[in-house]
Amino acid sequence: MITKHPLVLNITNSVTVNFVADALLAVGAAPVMSEDPTDATELVPIVNGICINIGTINTHQRSIIDKVLSTNSKSKITLDPVGAGATATRTKACLDILATGKVNLIRGNASEISSLAGKNHSTRGVDSTESTLSVKDSAFYLATEYKCIVVVSGEVDLLTDGKNMSRTYNGSALMPKITGTGCVLSAFLTAVISDHEVSLADLTQAVAYYGYMGEIAESLAKGTGTFKERFLDALYQIKVSEVQENLRIEML
């Protein structure tokens, strides 16, 4: 799935930065992190993808994001709108990023996607209180409005490119019980779209594969601590071609 060892710049939250870096290495990508506006801007021309995660948004991070987005780049860009809808600060930051027209992929939970589309929503911190299927109109709107692909994560994952939709049904109940599986998914999908031109069908397969790695990890884990270890092991050891028949995908 990832063959060209893409270099992915992560402007991400401080809670999950190590998990994100380790996961990108496990799937064959190269992570680079930056917490300085000048440094991040200098990295933009040499990276293949940029993952923007607002999980611990602050004014300093906003300055980094603004600098990066104002720099000419052919890199694919993902927005992970962590907690959008929980505060006006988070929502405005995401809408400002989307307004640049440079985002290729939005990956969030149902409440985050709903809030970005301006719909009524119910958000509990950074956790969703809505189902993915209930926000399909919001996902379609965002994909159409910002000319990007939208991935709505949850018990059932929903994807759309503004023309077609798909669903995936793989995953583990332990995934939301450890911090960072959503952040890692956003970084992983950034690596996928940075590796080559990707269709909705390809991204759907990537999301299903990611969920199935969670299923494998759960079968081997003793709890949430070992689940994280087994999950990284699965990402490193198992290729999508080896588990194709286990991916539960519905193209709509």
pLDDT band (50, 70, 90) for residue 73: confident
Q: What angle do CA 7, 8, 11 make, to 5 degrees?
A: 150
Give the list of residues 6+ apart from residue 164 with CB closer than 8 angstroms, or none.
Answer: 200, 251, 252
Structure tokens at 112: 């985050």
In a domain, 110, yes or no: yes
For the domain that residue 20 is a member of, what is the CATH number?
3.40.1190.20
For residues 98 and 8, what is the distance between their CA atoms, to the nearest angstrom?
A: 19
pLDDT of residue 1: 81
Is the Cα torsion angle 175, 88, 102, 12 positive or negative in sign?
Answer: negative
DSSP string, the chain: ---S--EEEEE--TTSHHHHHHHHHHTT-EEEE---HHHHHHHGGG-SEEEEE-TT--HHHHHHHHHHHTS----EEEEE-TTBTTBHHHHHHHHHHHHTT---EEEEEHHHHHHHTT----EETTEE-S-GGGGHHHHHHHHHHHTSEEEEESSSEEEE-SS-EEEE----TTGGGSTTHHHHHHHHHHHHHHHS---HHHHHHHHHHHHHHHHHHHHH-SSHHHHHHHHHHHHHH--GGGSGGG--EEE-
Chain-wide mean pLDDT for the chain? 94
Structure tokens at 96: 């400002």
In a domain, 116, yes or no: yes
Q: Residue 191 class from Cβ within 10 Å (0-12 exposed, 13-18 middle, 19+ buried)?
A: buried
Structure tokens at 158: 């929903």
Q: Give yes or no for residue 161 having a pLDDT over 70.
A: yes
Question: What is the pTM assigned to this prediction?
Answer: 0.94
Other beta carbons less than 10 A from residue 95's beta carbon: 14
Tens digit of each residue's pLDDT (9 = 90 or more) over 106-134: 999 999 999 999 975 555 445 444 667 78
pLDDT of residue 154: 94
In a domain, 1, yes or no: no
Q: Give yes or no for residue 48 having a pLDDT over 50.
A: yes
Counting the structural domains of the chain, the total is 1
In a domain, 119, yes or no: yes
**What's the domain range around 81?**
7-251
Tens digit of each residue's pLDDT (9 = 90 or more) over 78-103: 999 999 999 999 999 999 999 999 99
In a domain, 146, yes or no: yes
In a domain, 132, yes or no: yes
Is the Cα torsion angle 28, 181, 218, 154 positive or negative in sign?
Answer: negative
For residues 60 and 45, what is the distance between their CA atoms, to the nearest angstrom?
A: 21
Q: Give yes or no for residue 66 having a pLDDT over 80.
A: yes
